């Protein structure tokens, strides 16, 4: 429930500095905040607004557009059960109902121990592997109810900790770019003409005298 920690604030500032316009860093910073707290808190959105120079309402507007930014307490594992056509035909609804009973929460709910948030989602692009579900966006294909129980037990027991990091965790590679790998940022007003536009312009200029000659 908080603003960025000192370390994350420093990281956030470096992320902001990678963009010509600070506001472009809004979404990366939302990810960072979600990684820190497991979900995107109001305080974090306020802090992001300060860092990118906009209002908190604008951060909320952007963040709320995206499903994957959770603005409420979310379990360590976010379980998304697909109930779209393919999965529905192959038992997705039954899988969801089983999951509800196993976890004891309705879709959208979080278990009392804060381990699981269950979600009923639309197509997750695994129709060939129906019924499918995701845990923190990692796929589990052709899941049976028994396999589901096993999965939950394994997660609770920490057996999958290496494969499935807690909700919100981001790839470190993208966040912390070594200094020698940072691309130079050219502010928009200092950017040179893109090659394809230059090519077009040169072609147009080459054609112009010919047209002039005809008239």
Partner 1 sequence: MSERPRKIEITDPVEITVDGQTVTAQSGELLIEACERAGAYVPRFCYHPRMEPVGMCRMCLVEVDTGRGPALQPSCMLPVTPGMAVDTTGEKVAKAQDGVLEFLLANHPLDCPVCDKGGECPLQDQTVAYGPGESRFVEEKRHYTKPIPISETVYLDRERCILCDRCTRFAKEVAGDPLIHFAERGAQTEVATFPGEPFSSYFSGNTVQICPVGALTAKPYRFKARPWDLEESESTCTGCSVGCRVTVQSSRNEVLRFQGVDSDPVNWSWLCDKGRFGFEAGNSEDRLGEPLLRDGGELRPARWSDALTAAASALKGADADRVAVLGGARLTNEGQLAWARLAKSVVGTDHVDAQLGDGLPAEVVLDLPGATIDEVCAPGGTVLYLGPDPKEELPVLHLRLRHAAVNDRVKIVSVSPVATGLSEFAAADVHPRPGETAVLVAALFGGDVPSDGVAGVPAEQVLAARELLSGAQDLKVVVGRQNLAESAAVMVDAVAAVRAAVPTATFLPALRRANVRGALEAGLAPGRLPGRATLEAPGSWKDAWGSLPKSVGRDAEGILTAAAAGRIDVLVLLGADPLSDFPDRDLAAKALDAAGTVISVDPFVNASAARAADVVLAAAAFGEVAGTTTSLEGRVTTLAQQVTPPGTARADWLLAVELADRLGTDTKVATAEDLWAQMVEGSAAHAGASTEALADEANVDGVLLALDGSGFTAPAATQVPPQNSYSLRLVVNRSLYDHGTLLSHCPSSAPLSREATLVLGPADAESIAVTTGSPVKVTAQRATITAVATVVDSVPRGTAVLHHNLADADADGVDPGRIVIAGEPVTEIRVEAG
Q: How far is the CB of 64 from partner 1 (least distance, A)?
A: 4
Residue 158, classed as helix, strand or coil, is coil
Residue 44 vs 130, nearer CB to partner 1: 44
Q: How far is the CB of 63 from partner 1 (least distance, A)?
A: 9
Count CB-CB contacts under 10 A for residue 5: 12
| Residue 132: DSSP 8-state | -
- Rounded Cα gap, residues 142 and 126, in angstroms: 10
Q: How far is the CB of 89 from partner 1 (least distance, A)?
A: 25
Q: In the complex, which residues of this chain contact partner 1 (CB under 8 A)?
A: 42, 45-46, 54-61, 64-65
CA quadruple 41, 47, 64, 129: dihedral positive or negative?
negative
Q: What is the DSSP string of 55-87?
A: -HHHHHHHHHH-TTS--S---SEEEEEE-SHHH
Residue 65 vs 196, nearer CB to partner 1: 65
Residue 39 vs 102, nearer CB to partner 1: 39
Q: How far is the CB of 86 from partner 1 (least distance, A)?
A: 22
Q: How far is the CB of 48 from partner 1 (least distance, A)?
A: 11
Contact assessment for residue 100 and residue 64, using Cβ atoms and an 8 Å cutoff:
no
Residue 61 vs 114, nearer CB to partner 1: 61
Residue 73 vs 149, nearer CB to partner 1: 73
From the list 29, 27, 33, 37, the residue with the least C-alpha distance to 61 is 27
């Amino acid at each position: 429930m908080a603003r960025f920690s000192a370390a994350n604030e420093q990281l956030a500032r470096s992320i902001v500095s990678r963009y010509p316009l600070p506001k472009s860093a809004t979404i990366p910073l939302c990810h960072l905040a979600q990684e820190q707290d497991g979900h995107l808190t109001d305080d974090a959105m306020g802090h992001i607004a300060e860092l990118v120079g906009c209002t908190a309402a604008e951060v909320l507007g952007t963040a709320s557009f995206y499903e994957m930014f959770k603005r409420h307490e979310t379990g360590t594992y976010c379980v998304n059960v697909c109930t779209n056509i393919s999965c529905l035909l192959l038992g997705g609804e039954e899988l969801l109902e089983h999951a509800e009973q196993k976890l004891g929460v309705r879709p959208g709910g979080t278990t009392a121990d804060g381990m699981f948030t269950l979600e009923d989602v639309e197509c997750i692009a695994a129709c060939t592997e129906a019924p499918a579900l995701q845990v923190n966006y990692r796929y589990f294909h052709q899941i049976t109810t028994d396999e589901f129980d096993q999965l939950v037990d394994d997660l609770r027991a920490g057996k999958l900790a290496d494969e499935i990091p807690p909700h919100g965790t981001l790839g470190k590679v993208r966040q912390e770019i070594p200094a020698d790998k940072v691309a130079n940022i050219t502010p928009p007003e200092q950017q040179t003409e893109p090659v394809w536009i230059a090519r077009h312009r040169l072609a147009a200029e080459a054609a112009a005298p010919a047209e002039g000659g005809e008239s």
